[in-house]
Amino acid sequence: MKKSVYAKLMSLFLVASLGFSVAACDNIPKINNGDDAFDVSYNDEKLDPAGAADAGNSWTYISAADKAENYTINWYVDVSTWPMPTGKDAVSKRIKEVTGLTVKFETPVSDDGTKLNTMIAGNKLPDVISMPTSNLLTLSLLAKDGLVYDINGLADRYAHSLYEHLPEDVLEWWAYGNGKTYGVPNHYYSYSDVPEGEQLQPNGGMMVRKDLFDSWQEHVSTDSRIDGDGMLHYTSLSGAAKTVEWQGYITTPEGFKEAAKWALANYKGTGNGNGKITTGLLLSQFKADGCTSLGWLSQFFAIPYEDESGNYQYAFTQESYKEMLMYLNDLYNEGIISKGNFTQNFDGIGGTIASGAAFATLVTPQDYQMHFLTAHDTVVNGKSLEYVSMYITNENGDAPVLSDIRGYGYLMNMITTGGPLSKTRPDLIIKLFDYLTSPEGQLLVTLGVEGETWNYTDSTKTATAFTETYLEEKAKLQTAKYGLMQFDVLINYQYYDNMQPRVNNGKTEGELYRTNLKRPLTIYSYDCNVSHFVIDATDSRYNDYDNALTRINNVLGRQVPKIIQAASRSEAESVYNTTIGYLNSYNLDIVLQMNAESYAKTKAKLGLTNGWPAYQEGYNMTPDRLHPNGDLSLYRSY
């Protein structure tokens, strides 16, 4: 079994090294295992006592003898940039006190999958593996090859109370075709936790350097194309005569291109923190799982995943998506997107942001929040290199349709069947999962030890405030010992947001800036969960689907950068048309058919007639051009 999954993962790694890119064009559906999933054995001698399902929290059944054993959990997080807890902080100590367990974390040096593959090949699995939920095929292979336990089986035997603490919609969302779920995610947004009527901020966002943006706005305000009503007259990409409020000209494709060229003409330089820029638009990494910037831009351009009749639409084959690629090709040939952008790694992207060397960015802001903060704190000639949010629309001027931050997790946490502790005592680990998922555990890892760093401020225990001692030490940068927000592998972020202190919160200017990076764009964000539909691997057509999708994504990974970097529009169109031919030859029809079926089922499950927000009640097709940064009143001060 282990050789089998190793071989499959290595084949994926080889494909990735050749330029495999799954996010280059579309929402990639989740893989759903069938009834051929593995059988595992459980340590049934450690079953909870009779009646435990009604007798409180599972971790209270960890015996004193087990606690005295000082068991250690080896926990591998397959993300090189994930910051590991020290294990010496108050949160880690409290976890040890409650469960008797010590957690030892490990991360890879790079994100190429080599370390995990080596672990599997060498039969040296950790007790817990955490990996991004976007690694769908790897998650499926680990389950199918019997390397991880199903959470249902463990909870039924040893942690009945987990069902009370983990929202039902989260557990069901990740269930495979056999009805089992093989991990517990973090950073999920359950419908049961999101306050009714609350609009969540978007997951992605466009940012622009504020000082250069302000200078451009001052420059364009005197443009001779502006009439007496404050409307700027311009020619669209397709040659049509158009007008827009001059303040919002930068939010049009034509206006942004002009602004970026102006910024490069006036501020181009080395970009080493001296206020000069090296690029007009910075995209995220082009790596094995794609370039997220293309997904964000397709949302700003309101490219639908559904037609007006409610039928699923594949992004790459749509004319609007083709035009988006042609726009990026134009920006590249105008020198606004740099050639070096296509080979930059995470640190390279982050360094460009931190030094303020990009006029605008189209990355995932939260992934680079510390780099944005560095730019914010850098002052050149009396001005900060701060970035602020902005938006851009398609040529027609339709308001953006941004997918909000809700979803069902960033990291999937799986208990392995072959770890030093997990192969014999999975009961202890699932109890730890239960504890960390519970309100008690959530408050511990986010706010710290009650009475030490925070207290409830009301009798209903729905409001909190930090202690004066904690705030005094935070002001002195002496709070690392408390361990807040470090042990975040099982955080329910919406629950934390609901419970974090609104007053007496001690947030610094930097923390507020990071929190508010893209919040003004919330006016254009919507619930797009329906687009993350599930493909059932028990379907008799699944193998054909899987083979077709793998080959299609491999082609897109190679071709999309070629389209953007083509020497002219005609060449870019030629590469695009060639790519369409490849997709059709690789059985795109089966992918479209099964995607459409799964999309329809997901809509029915969520009770939707139309899944595309622009076809739903409440969508305003007209963007607010007078406020190109979004709604700045949405900034939180807590």
The DSSP string of 273-293 is SSS-BSEEEEE---BTTB-HH
The DSSP letter of residue 533 is: -
CA distances from 385 to 188, 353, 354, 357, 569 (A): 32, 9, 9, 9, 34
- The answer to whether 436 and 442 have CB atoms below 8 angstroms apart is yes
Share of the chain above pLDDT 90, in %: 72
Confidence of residue 31 (pLDDT cuts 50, 70, 90): very low
The DSSP letter of residue 9 is: H
- Which residue, among 564, 563, 561, 559, has the nearest Cα to 582 in the 3D structure? 559
**How many CB atoms lie under 10 A from the CB of residue 435?**
26
CATH entry 3.40.190.10 includes domain 206-403+527-634: yes
- Which residue, among 136, 137, 127, has the nearest Cα to 105 in the 3D structure? 127
Is the C-alpha dihedral spanning 84, 87, 88, 92 positive or negative? positive
Distance CA 624, CA 227 (A): 19
Which CATH architecture is the domain 33-185+407-448+483-498 placed in? Answer: 3-Layer(aba) Sandwich (3.40)
- Kindly report, residue by residue over 150-207, the tens digit of the pLDDT: 999 999 999 999 999 999 989 988 887 788 899 999 998 888 888 888 889 999 999 9
**What's the pTM?**
0.84
The burial class, CB within 10 Å (0-12 / 13-18 / 19+), for 58 is: buried
Confidence of residue 52 (pLDDT cuts 50, 70, 90): low
Residue 620, pLDDT > 90, answer no
- The answer to whether 422 and 41 have CB atoms below 8 angstroms apart is no
Residue 2, pLDDT > 70, answer no
Distance CA 283, CA 358 (A): 10
Confidence of residue 503 (pLDDT cuts 50, 70, 90): confident
What confidence score (pLDDT) does residue 272 get?
A: 81
- Kindly report, residue by residue over 321-362, the tens digit of the pLDDT: 999 999 999 999 999 999 999 999 999 999 999 999 999 999
Contacts of 221 (CB under 8 A, 6+ apart): 246
Would the CATH topology of 33-185+407-448+483-498 be identical to that of 206-403+527-634?
A: yes
Distance CA 385, CA 211 (A): 7
Q: What is the mean pLDDT of residues 512-528?
A: 94
What confidence score (pLDDT) does residue 35 get?
A: 43
Radius of gyration of the chain, Cα coordinates, nearest whole angstrom:
25
Confidence of residue 547 (pLDDT cuts 50, 70, 90): confident
Distance CA 25, CA 44 (A): 47
The burial class, CB within 10 Å (0-12 / 13-18 / 19+), for 452 is: middle
**β-bridge pairing 72-77 and 102-106:** parallel
- Which residue, among 428, 409, 415, has the nearest Cα to 490 in the 3D structure? 409
Is the C-alpha dihedral spanning 338, 340, 343, 346 positive or negative? negative
Q: What is the mean pLDDT of the chain?
A: 89
What confidence score (pLDDT) does residue 39 get?
A: 57
Domain ranges of the chain: 33-185+407-448+483-498, 206-403+527-634
